[in-house]
Structure formats: C-alpha cells, structure tokens
Structure 1
Amino acid sequence: MCAQVSKIENQVLTFSALLASIFAIGGLVFGLMFGSLVILFDGVYSTVSLLLTILSLVVSKFIQSPSKRHFPFGKAILEPIVITVKAIVILVVVIVSLHSAVTSLFTGGREMDTSVATLFGVLNVLGCGYAWWYIAHRSKRFTSDLIAAESMQWQMDTLLSIAITVGFIIAWVITQSPLAKYAVYADPLMMCAISVYFIKVPIDMLKEALRELLMMAPSKEIHSQVTAGINKADKLGNQRIKLVGLTKVGRELRLVVDINTQNAHSISIHDIEKTRKSITSQLSTMPFDLHLNLNIAR
C-alpha cells in the first residue's frame, strides 16, 4: 500500500474515532437520563465502535511498519482478524440488546420523554450521516477493508439513528392518542425491530472475514477481473499461462499461475520475468497489492 493511501487511511480512522467518542458519551448519558433502551443501545454501540476504530487504527499503523522477521509473508492477515473481532463484538451487542428489549416487553415496557428523545435522534441522524458520507467519500479512490468495515459501522449507526428517530415520533403520536397507555412498549418494540434487522450486518462482515482467514476464493467480481487479465496476458505472450490459485487477504491479492512449457525444452529467466511483468501490467488497475507466484508446468 502506497504512503498516500496509508496516510488517508489513518486520517479517516482518526476522524472516525474522534466522532465516535462524542456519540458514545452522548448516547450513554442521554440513554441513562431518559431511560431509553434504544438510545442506550446507540451509546453502547458507539462506544464499541470507538474501541474497534482505535483497534483498526493501531493495526493499520502496525501493518505499514516493516517487520519481515516476524511476518515473512506480510501482515495482511491482520485485517480480516480485526474485522472478525469487530463483527463478533457488534453481534454480541445486538444480541444482548435484543434480550434486554424482549425482557422489557414482558415486564411492562419503559416510559420515556419522547420529545427530548426525538431531538437527540435528529442530531444523531445528522452526525452519523455526515460521518458515513465523509468516510465513503474519502475512500472512493482506494480500497481498504479496514475503511470498508468502518464505513459499514457508520452506515449501520446512521440507519439505526433514523429508525430510532422515526420510532420516537411514532411513540409521541401514540401518547397524544387514546392509546397513550401503550406508549411504554414503543421503546422495547423499536429495539426488537432494530436488533432483528441489523443482526445481518455483523454476520455478513464475519462471513467475509472468515473467507479470507480460511484462504477461500474471493468474490466473483474479483475472480472475473483476474481471469480476464490472465487471459489477456496469455494471448499477448509467447508462453501459455493458466490461473491455478487465487485468494484475497486484506489488501493483498495472491495468485498462483502456471507457465506451460510442454512444447519447449527450456524457458529462460528473461521469459519468466516478461510473463510476470505482463500479468502485473494487466492487473495493475485493481486496487490491491499483488503477490504473484509463477510455477513452471510441463
């Protein structure tokens, strides 16, 4: 990863950490003050996001530092490990929140000040929406799984804030109607709906991270791009080449390619390097660090 990309990654993660700390404190304070499960969940989620962002920032800087002695094959594997930790922690937070909401439903609900809670929700939507937009905007020109996971966190927080705000508005309307006695169930019901909806996000993050940790095949999109590049290099070169292995680990794309020498008695080092440069050139537009292994096949 080039120095400029690393600098942008660090800037984005630092910005995310600072903003997450503000939402974490606000969510926890207001959640406890107004006795709202969803605001408290938002505060807990922001606190967890802050800790996970700090973890991502530390790992990002660690990956960029040289350490061939202890990591002879690079540190890219640390990225899916961090994302796995993020996904598991977020999943636990969602499950615990769902349990609290269900318990509250069966114990008489929870009263809250819906007017102040709605104002908090609106401020949250604006703040989280800006963070999501900023991170997505800054990461358009480069690929980083850490930033992608960070963007997903803020997307989840933004949608969560929107759901909370809409729920508070509905709860306020209920308090002004003959059904006012049922308003105490609005908060835990919102929490149940939010938990069920958002549980898919950490599960998807976990699945993708585990695919990389297990060195499984990458997405169809990546596989198609690599195959097209290999086929083009095969047509342009004198040697027949074939893709036999492909995986993505963090910011690295790892390929194993066979050079077929069936019709030749030998192959020169010059021809091997020419093939390597041709493959690298065809795949240079992909936003990954390329790790290419060439095998001589007969």
Structure 2
Amino acid sequence: MQNEKQVLKVSVYGALIFAIVAIVWGVAGNSQMILFDGLYSLISVALSFFSLLSAAYIQKNDFKRFPFGKEMLEPIVILSKYTVILLLCMYAFSSAAADLLSGGRMVEPGMAVLYALLATIGCYVVFLYLNKQKKSLNSGFVAAEANQWMMDIYLSFAVMIGFLAAWFMTMTPFAHVTPYIDPLMVMLVSGYFVKVPLLSIKEQVKEVLEMAPEKGIQTEIEKTSSHIKEKYGFDESILRVSKVGSKLFIEVDFIVDTDKWEPSINDQDRIREEFYECLIDIPYTKWLTISFTSDRKWAL
C-alpha cells in the first residue's frame, strides 16, 4: 500500500500536466470553457502541493509543541482549498455571463471535443487510483483530492457533450447559436460545481469547531458506552466525541456508586481495554480518555 505522500504526489503531477495542456489548448482554441478547466487544474496543483506539505508536517512527531497532535491542520487546509475553488467557480460564472451578454465566443468545436475526450479519460484514470487509495489510507487529504478529480471528470465530460452539440449545430440552420455554447457551458458547470465546495466547507467547519462526528460513528460509540455502563453497573456514563482530521477524540466519564463497587486501577485499565477493542473497526486514530468518579460534577 502506498503512503499518503506518494498518493498526493500523483495528484500534484497529474494536475500540473492537465493544467498546462488545458491552458495552452484553451488559448489556442479561444475557449473560455477549456481555459476554466486549465485554471481549475492549475489552482489544484498549488492546493495539492499545499496538502502534500501539510500531510508531511502532520506526520512529524512534535509532542512538546503539539501535545494533542496536529490533525487540526487537515480540516484547515481542506477548508482553504475548497474556499479557493468556490471563488474560482464564482469568478468563472460571472465572466461567462459577461461573455454571453456581449455576443458569445467563437470556438472551434472539433478541437474542443478532442481535448474534452482526452481530458475525461485522463481524469477518470487518476480518480480511480485516488479513490482506491482513499479507502485504504482513510486520509482526508486524499479524499479531497479524489473529489477534486471527480469534479474534473464531470467538467471534461460536460465540455465534450456541449461541444459535440455545438459541432452538430454548425451543420444546421442554428449555426448562429454556436458562439453562445462556450460561455453557457461555463455558467452551467461552474454554477453546478458551487455545490461541491459548499458541502465540503460545511464538513470542514464542523471539524475545526470540534463538533460531533458523523451519525454512524457517534451511534457506535454511544452503544459501546451504554454496554460498558450496564455491564459493570455504573450509575451513568457521560460521553463526548469529536472528529478532527483523521483523529477521533473520545472522552467517557463513568459515574461510580462506590457503595456497590469501587473499581481498582487494574479494573479501570481492563475496562479501558475492553472499550477500545469495541471500537477497533472504526477507521480513525482514537484519542481515548476514560475516567471514573463518584461525584458527577467532575464529569460535567
């Protein structure tokens, strides 16, 4: 299995190649749509390189300066990444709208269709690779890269369909509509793409604010906490869970009635081990803190 750094390098180099080809092709073919694709890829290169540096920095051990780890950098970097993509989509939409209102833009459909076909195939190959690695590495950085390439697939495929339609139009009485195809596609694609960064920004903000993780993980941990409480006859269990990057912070306080049973240090460690084993299938690094108290105020 390849490590996170190697996988991110593939994304960086792939995006750089696509960016150069698209920008040159877009300028040569006078296509704002292809140019948008190239600029999107170029920004992806810078952002992917930033992700690569951040991933390497997070993996460095620096306990004295970061006693709780550096996983918070992951959502911050991904949040920055999608914010830039959101701004790019908004700029592309407004620029295309201006072109549409000013009479459109003449593009050579044949060149554009060829570019879109090659780009769609290339993006799909890189996406398949990243998606496979995402499942094995469980990395937020790799997941963000895979999402980015998925957006590129849709973008390239939309370009191909749009320019195929424009190509056929040149052979019909509607040939005068052809100049409007390029800016119209930019508006449709960039408008649709706004949804992806917005949803991702929402998820990353939740992690930066250290909010509760997704419902499935939360439910699994709650079941484990309730099971341990009932098994050992504790009065109550108070659970706090948050997800930051690839790390789950889990804090459990068991309220103990010392008149019934007062767990020894060995008992407490055995319960911690049992709790941890119940969560072994959750694919994140766990920061597990389990405390025992007879006074509820220390758990609140």
TM (norm. structure 2) is 0.93
1:121 is matched with 116
Distance of 1:113 and 1:261 partners within structure 2 = 76
Q: 2:171 aligns with which of 172, 176, 182?
A: 176
Contact 1:142 1:287 in 2 (8 A): no
**Does residue 280 of structure 1 match 2:271?**
no
1:11 is matched with 6
1:164 is matched with 159
Q: CA deviation at 1:243?
A: 4.4
How many percent identity over aligned positions? 36
Q: Secondary structure at the match of 2:136?
A: coil
Letter aligned with residue 116 of structure 2: G
**Does residue 24 of structure 1 match 2:23?**
no
**Does residue 291 of structure 1 match 2:272?**
no
Structure 2 unaligned regions, length at least 5: 295-300
**Does residue 198 of structure 1 match 2:193?**
yes
Contact 1:230 1:279 in 2 (8 A): yes
Q: Secondary structure at the match of 2:268?
A: helix
Q: 2:209 aligns with which of 207, 214, 234?
A: 214
Q: Secondary structure at the match of 1:140?
A: helix
Q: Secondary structure at the match of 1:267?
A: coil
1:50 is matched with 45
**Does residue 91 of structure 1 match 2:86?**
yes
TM (norm. structure 1) is 0.94
Contact 1:227 1:243 in 2 (8 A): no
Q: CA deviation at 1:241?
A: 6.1
Distance of 1:119 and 1:98 partners within structure 2 = 24
Contact 1:239 1:275 in 2 (8 A): no
Q: CA deviation at 1:195?
A: 1.1
Distance of 1:240 and 1:114 partners within structure 2 = 72
Superposition RMSD on alpha carbons, in Å?
A: 1.5
2:142 is matched with 147
Structure 1 unaligned regions, length at least 5: none
Contact 1:232 1:282 in 2 (8 A): no
Q: CA deviation at 1:273?
A: 1.0
Query: Please, which moves more after superposition, 231-240 or 125-134?
Result: 231-240
Q: CA deviation at 1:235?
A: 4.7
**Does residue 108 of structure 1 match 2:103?**
yes
Distance of 2:45 and 2:228 partners within structure 1 = 45
Distance change (3 Å), C-alpha of 1:266 and 1:235: closer
Letter aligned with residue 182 of structure 1: V
Q: Secondary structure at the match of 2:248?
A: strand
Q: 2:219 aligns with which of 224, 243, 258?
A: 224
2:266 is matched with 270
Distance of 2:20 and 2:136 partners within structure 1 = 32
Contact 1:76 1:251 in 2 (8 A): yes
Distance of 1:128 and 1:231 partners within structure 2 = 46
Q: CA deviation at 1:242?
A: 2.2
Q: CA deviation at 1:233?
A: 3.7
Q: Secondary structure at the match of 1:258?
A: strand
Distance of 1:201 and 1:17 partners within structure 2 = 20
